[in-house]
Amino acid sequence: MSRKSHGSRRTFIAAAGGIAGALGAGAGAGGGIAFAGAKSHAALDMHTAQDTVAEPFFGSHQNGIAAPSPMQSHTYFAALDITATDRKALIAMLQTWTAASARLTAGRLAMAPATPDQPFDSLDALDLGPSRLTLTFGFGPDLFTLAGKDRFGLAARRPAALVDLPAFPGEQLEARHTGGAVSVQACADDPQVAFHAVRELVRLAGGNATVRWTQAGFSTANRTQGTARNLMGFKDGTMNPPVGDAAVMNQHIWVGSEGPRWMQGGSYAVFRRIRIALEHWDQMKLGFQERTIGRHKLSGAPLGGTHEFDALDLKAQDKDGNPIIPATAHARLGAPSENAGAQMLRRAYNYTDGASFVAERWPPWKQAMEYDAGLMFIAYQHDPRRGFIPMFEKMSRIDALNQFTTHVGSAVFACPGGVRHGQYIGQGLFEAV
């Protein structure tokens, strides 16, 4: 990624007489910031478009699913509850979000600063440019019906593939990381740009949406050569379907004519907040770690192979007749051949949210430290009933990884097809069939 110099910032400040000059000195009558003049507002708005690369917001697919590549190095994900009282207010919110998303992804302010007394943007990401920001939206089960109520006349339009995930063995889901009526995922190469975008969209939602949970994550994807590594130290994403292969993507990831029109070109996102007991994992020998995953740690090659992208030889045995890639190895359990050919596009981020101290369950009864860290697992597929659900039903019972992982959050969202110019996010859902 090319990054332009910060000369553009200096150029702007000189042209506008500096930020202070552009903003003016005092508070306006309504308590807002007073501005010097309309010309300065326009200059302020254009300024953020000057730096770093911008990703398109409009297109046939939502950005942030299969593109861009490499994935941005930061994400901020928010699941929202919808508090709008009617369909009109919900649509108005989506229209406002569409306009703001087009602006934010171009590196501009959330709103044009035309009315000095109204908040238009926090300005905290002003100098950071677009930073390859993408905004991806999804609709969760609660949007269609909530506590049996069809609030927006959408119940009959809930796609069959937008299933409530079944309970899986071993999961310990917490309400504060689970569910949601609408998802907004911002990905960017700068964490502040990602957070800023979500924060602005939440503000612009007014009284129509409230945050239910959020999760920030980070990845090495844009900072290293090749496949990103997760916190366990393994390359993660090696066997993702090739995003450039339209046939594979249409078969496994994008919803086609089998789905409702508004979902065509879209995909279903399964989110799982997976805590990894890193404090435990870090005590394990390399060979044990590699047998848990079924791959070599350094190269990412499958056990028995040499190179990262070598095919998994699931039939290979050692001299004693044991499988070289163990029956419980994570990579074996995720392989398409073990899952009726199913494939998902994993776009996972790492997370850390501090550490806590718990009393140990065994002598010498001392306090033990646990990181709240792990994987923000996000997988896209054209139908979770063929992808995530059967795959994880098996994994949750026998995956060697389960010794170290606990699923503490979960959500599923229908991410509509891309937003076309002149349309708003998810418009087809609200139109007559």
Which residues here bind ligand HEM, judged by CB under 6 A?
230, 232, 234-239, 272, 274, 276, 293, 295, 312, 330-331, 334-336, 344, 374-375, 377, 388, 391-392, 395, 401, 405
Cβ–Cβ < 8 Å for 231, 275: no
Nearer to ligand HEM, 125 or 303 (CB): 303
Whole-number Å distance between alpha carbons of 306 and 226: 16
User: What is the smallest separation between the CB atom of 401 and ligand HEM, expressed in angstroms?
Assistant: 6
Buried b (16+ CB within 10 A) or exposed e, 170-207: ebebeeebbbbbbbbbbbbbbbbbbbbbbbbbbebbee
- Please report how close the Cβ of residue 301 comes to ligand HEM at its closest, in angstroms: 10
> Can you state the angle between helices 38-47 and 7-16, rounded to 10 degrees?
180
Measured CA to CA, the distance from residue 327 to residue 265 in angstroms comes to 36
Q: Least Å distance between CB 1 and ligand HEM?
A: 23
* CB hemisphere CA count around 92 (13 angstroms): 12
Q: If you ran DSSP here, which 8-state letter would residue 138 be given?
A: E
- Asked if 420 and 131 touch (Cβ cutoff 8 Å), the reply is no
Residue (334 or 426) nearer to ligand HEM, CB: 334
**From the CB of 185, what's the least distance to ligand HEM, in Å?**
18
Torsion angle of C-alpha atoms 275, 280, 286, 291, degrees rounded to 10: -60
| DSSP-assigned letter for residue 86 | S
DSSP H or E segment with residue 292: helix 286-293
Q: At its nearest, how many Å lie between ligand HEM and the CB of residue 382? A: 14
Answer for the pair 268, 413: CB distance below 8 angstroms, yes or no.
yes
- Cβ proximity to ligand HEM: between 198 and 395 the closer is 395
Two structure tokens written together for 310: 């070598």
**Tokens at 87, concatenated:** 């369909």
Q: How far is the CB of 415 from ligand HEM (least distance, A)?
A: 18
Q: Which tokens belong to 19?
A: 């930020």
CA distance 248 to 336: 12
Least CB distance to ligand HEM at residue 241 (A): 9
Q: How far is CA 103 from CA 13, 39, 184, in A?
A: 21, 18, 16
Q: Which is nearer to ligand HEM, 216 or 375 (CB)?
A: 375
Minimum CB–partner distance for residue 323 and ligand HEM (Å): 14
Residue with nearest beta carbon to ligand HEM:
334
Which is nearer to ligand HEM, 127 or 313 (by Cβ)? 313
Query: What's the min distance (Å) between Cβ of 275 and ligand HEM?
Result: 8
Among residues 351 and 424, whose Cβ is nearest to ligand HEM?
351
Between CA 180 and CA 143 the distance in angstroms is 8
Nearer to ligand HEM, 193 or 375 (CB): 375
Which of residues 141 and 237 has its CB atom nearest to ligand HEM in the complex? 237
Number of C-alpha atoms within 13 angstroms, CB side, residue 52? Answer: 22
Residue whose CB is less far from ligand HEM, 188 or 401: 401
- Give the 3-state secondary structure of residue 27: strand
